[in-house]
């Protein structure tokens, strides 16, 4: 298994295309009309959007039975559109709650499609080398309790770095976001203070400390890139493709770990073997393996239990089956965690129930 390859010309072209799509607020181009006239639309999480756009580009080129498109609008909006039946499929990094599922007249089937890592990217000009952030330190940064980069607790963890006496500016999501849920679910799991004194866990929060905000992962990434002294939570893909430095985080075992696809895959495989729920809502907010990167999450496609048009159900099942198999190596090439075999098997079984 390869580890996060360097940026190729092809990957750069894909990334530029994705950024243009995201910034323009438009969904992916179906390329050509389907001869059958079957158009399938989806909307939701920005966390997996670069991967979904690339999957759609490749899948549309391989078959002509249907044309797929996807709009990255955030997990919260994606769930709303899915419940309102304004799309053929949704996508969310926070899955759906029981209450949300109960609102879907046609039933909802949650399919894990990919997985990824939420990273803390930062902008500190002149600071070279690995920035290490202990668990209690990055919690307190986002609680607004640590507000300067040369705070003694940050300095103690990074004795070899020349940290500036500069204000820390956190950057967070302003839209309903599965990435926010993944990050705050982790913070709430490792820190009682986050739940008791902070904003808690959710997809849209009232952040302390006058945080800057951005829309979508790409919005937060760009805000970090142009703001000296900033730090924010984003999906790994966006940080790497924009060349943003990424903090090394301390895990439950006390080790400092960089994002790593192999470690993330092993973490998910073990968790699925131990406790995969029937509805496939598997969360791993604080993995305990010694080599585990601490913020790993699945990302789900939201499909209806029944579709009025049988051809639409068949087309979706075929496309998702392709994504679960052929699409996983593509996921790794873009910096996502390819799903382990036991999760692919569980997702494939769930897919068969769709009518």
pLDDT in tens, 221-241: 999 999 999 999 999 989 988
pLDDT in tens, 174-192: 999 999 999 999 999 999 9
Q: Is the pLDDT of residue 6 over 70?
A: no
Cα separation of 172 and 232, whole Å?
Answer: 6
Mean of the pLDDT values across residues 148-152? 98
**Domains detected in the chain:** 9-115+297-351 (3.40.190.10), 118-261 (3.40.190.10)
Percent of the chain predicted with pLDDT > 90? 83
User: Are β-strands 296-304 and 89-92 bridged in parallel, bridged antiparallel, or unpaired?
Assistant: antiparallel
33: pLDDT confidence band, cut at 50, 70 and 90? low
Per-residue model confidence (pLDDT) at position 12:
34
> Are the CB atoms for 325 and 252 separated by under 8 Å?
no
Q: Is the pLDDT of residue 16 over 90?
A: no
Q: Is the pLDDT of residue 63 over 80?
A: yes
Which residues, including other chains, have CB under 8 Å from residue 1's CB and lie 6 or more apart? 261, 262, 265, 332, 338
Per-residue model confidence (pLDDT) at position 209:
75
Mean of the pLDDT values across residues 93-108? 96
Per-residue model confidence (pLDDT) at position 21:
38
Cα separation of 343 and 233, whole Å?
Answer: 26
Cα separation of 282 and 271, whole Å?
Answer: 8
Per-residue model confidence (pLDDT) at position 273:
95
Q: Is the pLDDT of residue 28 over 50?
A: no
């Amino acid at each position: 298994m390869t580890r996060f390859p360097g940026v190729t010309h092809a990957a750069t072209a894909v990334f530029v295309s994705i950024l243009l799509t995201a910034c323009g607020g438009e969904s992916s181009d179906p390329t050509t009309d389907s001869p059958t006239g079957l158009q399938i639309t989806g909307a939701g999480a920005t966390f997996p959007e670069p991967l979904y756009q690339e999957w759609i580009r490749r899948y549309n080129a391989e078959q002509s039975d249907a044309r797929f498109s996807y709009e990255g609008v955030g997990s919260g909006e994606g769930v709303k559109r899915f419940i309102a039946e304004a799309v053929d499929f949704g996508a969310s990094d926070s899955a759906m709650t029981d209450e949300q599922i109960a609102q879907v007249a046609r039933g909802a089937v949650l399919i894990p499609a990919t997985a990824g890592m939420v990273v803390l990217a930062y902008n500190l000009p002149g600071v070279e080398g690995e920035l290490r952030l202990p668990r209690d330190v990055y919690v307190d940064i986002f609680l607004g309790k640590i507000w300067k980069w040369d705070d003694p607790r940050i300095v103690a963890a990074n004795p070899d770095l020349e940290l500036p006496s500069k204000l820390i500016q956190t950057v967070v999501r302003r839209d309903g976001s599965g990435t926010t849920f993944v990050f705050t679910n982790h913070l709430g799991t490792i820190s009682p203070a986050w739940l008791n004194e902070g904003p808690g866990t959710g997809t849209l929060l009232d952040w302390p400390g006058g945080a800057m905000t951005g829309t979508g992962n790409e919005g937060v990434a760009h805000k970090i890139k142009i703001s000296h002294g900033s730090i924010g939570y984003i999906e790994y893909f966006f940080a790497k493709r924009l060349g943003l430095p990424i903090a090394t985080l301390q895990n439950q075992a006390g080790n400092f770990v960089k994002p790593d696809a192999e470690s993330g895959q092993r973490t998910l495989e073990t968790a699925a073997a131990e406790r995969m729920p029937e509805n496939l809502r598997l969360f791993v907010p604080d993995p305990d393996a010694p080599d585990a990167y601490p913020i790993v999450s699945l990302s789900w496609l939201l499909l209806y239990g029944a579709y009025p048009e049988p051809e639409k159900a068949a087309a979706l099942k075929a496309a998702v089956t392709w994504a679960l198999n052929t699409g996983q190596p593509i996921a790794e090439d873009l910096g996502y965690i390819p799903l382990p075999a036991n999760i692919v098997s569980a997702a494939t079984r769930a897919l068969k129930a769709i009518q």
